[in-house]
Amino acid sequence: MKSANGSFLIRRTQQQSLWLLWLSKCVLLSLAACGTEASAQSKEEGSSIVINIKDWTAAGSGCRARMTQAGDVEFEEIRSVPASASKLMLIKFKLPKYQLSSPPEKAATSLTFARECALRIVADPLGQHRIKSIAARTPVVFSKDERTTLKMQYVLKLDGHIVAHSLSEIDENRSIRNQEDKVVLAGQLNQEDALASKQSCGTPQMLGFDYTFIAARSQPNDAALIKLADDRQLELAVELEPCS
């Protein structure tokens, strides 16, 4: 969708409200990370819920890392949050180097260029639970010259299915400097896919988040920059529910 400054401000407010809605019923509880397998546990009377990250990878033209091999994406932490009717886990990654920026001014350089980063996480909800829904939050800042267009796409996945996506297109004819956008996505499997997920409840599930940044310039000296803002984090909120 094509956005002007005003609509960006409106969308940012709506996104922040969506994220706060997810977290308003929750109070941050505990942090646990151990060895090569990170875990978070919600400690409540009569119950013990644990979700393990068994593996994760990050790959694309703008990033490369994995759980067992250091790279330019870093696992930060899992936080367990108690809620009245659900179990919520917050998973955080940091992408300190991921960005799209104008390539060197060379005649052979394409005027259209892109940077991508796809994160895949194998999460194991233990204790006969499954992932019911997922939300993602990531802050982005971008700049461009007048004759440059930008596309920024974000895709949230659960068990290989797209559960939410966002596409912003910024046309030419105006220059932009350090415009911030706090991206929030949330979704869950449709009824048919959720039923299949329930049948394999208690087994590892795949979480995914994809970034795609594209810039198209009119001239080699036109500039563009898109990067993660603030602390350069991607936060995933994972809601668990019992298998039964």
Q: What is the pLDDT of residues 173-207, one digit of tens each?
A: 899 999 999 999 999 988 777 776 666 777 899 99
Residue 99 CB coordination number (10 Å): 20
| Separation of alpha carbons 86 and 47, rounded Å | 12
Buried b / exposed e along 41-72 (16+ C-beta atoms within 10 A): bbeeeeeebbbbbebbbbbbebbebebeeeee
| Separation of alpha carbons 66 and 61, rounded Å | 15
| Separation of alpha carbons 34 and 27, rounded Å | 23
Please report the pLDDT score of residue 140 as a whole number.
97
* DSSP code at position 103: P
Maximal CA-CA distance, the chain: 67
Model confidence at 233, pLDDT cuts 50, 70, 90, reads very high
Domain ranges of the chain: 5-241
| Separation of alpha carbons 4 and 23, rounded Å | 29
| Separation of alpha carbons 201 and 196, rounded Å | 9
Please report the pLDDT score of residue 9 as a whole number.
40
Q: Model confidence over 4-37: pLDDT tens digits? A: 444 444 454 455 555 555 454 432 222 222 233 4
Model confidence at 241, pLDDT cuts 50, 70, 90, reads confident
- Rounded to an integer, the average pLDDT of 156-165 is 95
